Amino acid sequence: MEDSVFLSKLSKYLFWDYNIDTLNPNNDINLVLERVFTQGTESDEKEIFGYYNLINIKKSVTKIKYFDRKTLNYLSVILNIPKEDFKCYKKSLSETPFGIS
């Protein structure tokens, strides 16, 4: 599938602050995945799984610096990845002052 066709199938509001013509879904995979998993619809997620292979999705989501707790738990379950493997999980723990949550 061509890049522009793939991006045009995703909800328009996901990239309201970007020029969709300059986005490259392969170079900007972390941005695309972060937006779809935190703000997208079920249809957007289906497009993601149809465009990217599962290995690339797993590799990329673990490197994303921020997911809210709900999204992190969701991705951990559906992708079968321990939460501890996510960069955002490690980062959020280390930024908590004195272990207070």
Task: Note down pLDDT in tens along the chain; length 101 residues.
Answer: 677 789 999 999 999 999 888 999 999 999 999 999 999 999 999 999 999 999 999 999 999 999 999 999 999 999 999 999 999 887 655 455 555 55
Residue 92 burial by CB count (10 A; 0-12/13-18/19+): exposed, middle or buried?
middle
Residue 21: predicted pLDDT: 87
Q: Which sequence spans correspond to the domains of the chain?
A: 3-99
CB 52 within 8 A of CB 29: yes
Q: How far apart are CA 91 and CA 68, in angstroms?
A: 12
What count of other Cβ atoms lies within 10 Å of the Cβ of residue 55?
Answer: 8
